Structure 1
Amino acid sequence: MPIIDHFLDSAERRQSSHFDERPNTRDISLVVIHCISLPEGEFGKGYIDDLFMGCIDCRAHPSFQSLEGVRVSAHLVIDREGTTKQYVPFNKRAWHAGVSMFNGRKQCNDFSIGIELEGTDRDSFTDQQYRKLSRIITELQIAYPNIKQNIVGHSDIAPGRKTDPGIGFDWDKLHAELKRIG
């Protein structure tokens, strides 16, 4: 699953228009882990893809009304079975972090890669997601060595505003997987 021309070779490519240029493409130094489900707690419905592609029908579910006009994206989404879609090339700035700060640096979208796991901030994630995530992070660390061990949750860079990936995310399990393959 190598990274070729800023794309994960094994991911299905989806070309979101919700991205722009990074200020410095050599400054990719952070991985931000998120979680998402649309509607909340429902999986495999296709609405995540619609959101990142900018074509979500905000009338399809009452909870989608707040998404009207929202322009958001992530670099990658890993579904419950471990299938991965890439929406934005890694050398471009996806719009995933919002108002954020890491180690005193604001605007984390400028220097981070955003990975969404299909799930909620309360529920557990699947073994397939942990295996895929750890392999992807390993490849990202090879392709973008400034990432080093800078792997955080959205809640770490936007405390008080965001809670994902949440209490259901097992950081020890991720680190064990990374160590196992590293």
Structure 2
Amino acid sequence: MSWQPDGWLDGVGWLPSPNFGERPAGEPVSLVVIHNISLPPDEFGGDWVEDFFLNRLDPTVNRYFSTIFKLQVSAHFYVRRDGRVVQFVGCDQRAWHAGQSCWCERDNCNDYSVGIELEGSDTQPFTAEQYAALWGVLDALRARYPIAAIAGHCHIAPGRKTDPGPYFDWPALKTRYPDVDLPAEITA
């Protein structure tokens, strides 16, 4: 995988989201945050996540959608169940994925992180195709940016978020990236 200007990754689909901003000057990308998402919750397939990140989610389609359609959020990457990857925000930009967050006593994780959403939920395992795609994206990110740590949304927003959930394979990630800082409970 190679990179285009502004941190757009070749070899993945691009759907530019309007939900992003500039990173603070001189702020390197040093953290990757792993999330899960499914719309409606616990249902896979369809284009609802893409619509959500592009501010075009139809609130009349599903009762749950009517509660979130006005939110303006995005992630840098979205990994579908079949391993297809979609990028919404260039990694040199600040996607709106973390919300109120803190990592190692540093607030505002969006300022210095890349957000990767896995199509999934807290109730089901992720697929082998998703992990293969995730490793490829992480390898590419580590080649371009000084990634020092990888955490779950649950680690940067404890009590508020639970993703990527109990089925995420942290031991595999730890084995693959032994030099990257992980949450304390993963390394214990």
TM score, norm. by length of structure 2: 0.90
Shift of 1:178: 4.6
Match of 2:118 in 1: 117
**Residue deviations 1:52-99, cap 9 Å, x none?**
011000111111121131000000000001100000000000000000
Match of 1:159 in 2: 158
CA distance in 2, matches of 1:62, 1:144: 40
- Residue pairs, 1:14-163, within 5 angstroms: 14-24=15-25, 26-145=27-146, 147-148=147-148, 150-163=149-162
Q: Do the aligned partners of 1:11 and 1:83 also contact (CA within 8 Å) in 2?
A: yes
CA distance in 1, matches of 2:165, 2:8: 27
Match of 2:182 in 1: none
Shift of 1:131: 1.0
Corresponding residue SS for 1:139? helix
Residues paired across the two proteins, number: 177
CA distance in 2, matches of 1:97, 1:26: 16
For the structure 1 residues 137 and 28, does the alpha-carbon distance in structure 2 shift closer, same or farther, using more than 3 Å as the test?
same
Shift of 1:175: 3.1
CA distance in 1, matches of 2:26, 2:54: 23
More helix by share: 1
Corresponding residue SS for 1:48? helix
CA distance in 1, matches of 2:124, 2:21: 32
Corresponding residue SS for 1:62? coil
Residue type at the aligned position of 1:2? S
Residue type at the aligned position of 1:111? Y
Match of 1:9 in 2: 10
Q: Do the aligned partners of 2:52 and 2:69 also contact (CA within 8 Å) in 1?
A: no
Q: Do the aligned partners of 1:77 and 1:117 also contact (CA within 8 Å) in 2?
A: yes
% identical equivalent positions: 44
Corresponding residue SS for 2:173? helix
CA distance in 1, matches of 2:11, 2:27: 23
Q: Do the aligned partners of 2:74 and 2:88 also contact (CA within 8 Å) in 1?
A: yes
Residue type at the aligned position of 1:82? G
* Root mean square deviation, CA, Å: 1.3
CA distance in 2, matches of 1:102, 1:174: 18
Corresponding residue SS for 2:64? helix
Q: Do the aligned partners of 1:130 and 1:174 also contact (CA within 8 Å) in 2?
A: no
Shift of 1:25: 5.4
